[in-house]
Amino acid sequence: MNSEFEHFIFSYPLTEASVKDPMTGMNGNEPKPGDLIEIFRNVYEHWAVYVGQGFVVHLLGPDGTLSSSNINLPIGKNNVLKQKLLEVVSTDCWTINNLLDHEKRPRPAEVIVSEANKLVGTTRPYNVLDYNCEHFATELRYGNAESQQVEEALMVGLGVTGLSLTFGVIILAVLAWKFKSSSSN
C-alpha cells in the first residue's frame, strides 16, 4: 500500500451521507453482483462478495464477530452469512476491490452470485493462513482461493527472518574473526 492510499483510507470521513448511502464505497462506485468488497478493519481487511440488492455473502470474521479491533488466529469452522452490506461494514471504510482482475478472468457474475448464495448457512474451514475471508471471496470470483494479505504478511515475515539471519551470520563472522585475531596474538 502506498502512503497516499493509506492516507486516503485512514482519513476518509464517515459522513451522514455515507451512512445513508452504503452502496457507494470509498472509490465512489456502486458495486455490481460478483464484485469483491474490501472492508478496512483496525488490524486486517475483511472481504465479502456483493450479490446484489444491497447484500453481501462473506465468511464470518476470525473472532466470530462482524467487526474486530483484535484478531485471533483460529483454526476451525466459521459460518457463511448473507447480510446487508451496511451491517457488515458497520462504521468501517470499504471499497470495491476486484484485486486479481488484471491477472485472472473473473467467473460470470451469475455463477459467482449463485455459488455464493448456495453457501449461505453452511460452515467452511477457517485458518487465517490457509483459508480466510479473502480466500473465500477470491475463490468465488476467480475459482481459486488466494489471499494477498497472507502473501504480503509472509513476505514481510520472511524478509525479517532473512534479515535477522544475515545479521546473525555477520555478527558470528565478526566474533570468529576477533576470536581468531586475539588467539594469534
Taking only the tens place, the pLDDT of each residue in 47-76 is: 999 999 999 999 985 555 444 444 444 456
- Report whether pLDDT(107) > 80: yes
Q: Identify whether 133 is a catalytic site residue.
A: yes
As a whole number of angstroms, the distance between CA 35 and CA 40 comes to 16
Residue listed under C-alpha cell 494479505: 149
Check residues 128 and 152 and name the one with the higher pLDDT: 128
Q: Identify whether 58 is a catalytic site residue.
A: yes
Select which of 46, 93, 102, 135 is catalytic.
46
Give me the CATH topology for the region 3-146. Answer: endopeptidase fold (from Nostoc punctiforme) (3.90.1720)
Select which of 58, 93, 102, 135 is catalytic.
58
Q: Determine the angle formed by the axes of helices 133-142 and 148-184, rounding to 10 degrees.
A: 120
| Residue closest to 141 by CA, chosen among 68, 56, 81 | 56
Tell me what pLDDT residue 5 has.
Answer: 41
As a whole number of angstroms, the distance between CA 91 and CA 16 comes to 11
CB burial readout 139-160, b (16+ within 10 A) else e: bbbbeeebbebbeeeeeeeeee
Apex 70 CA angle, 126 and 156, nearest 5: 75
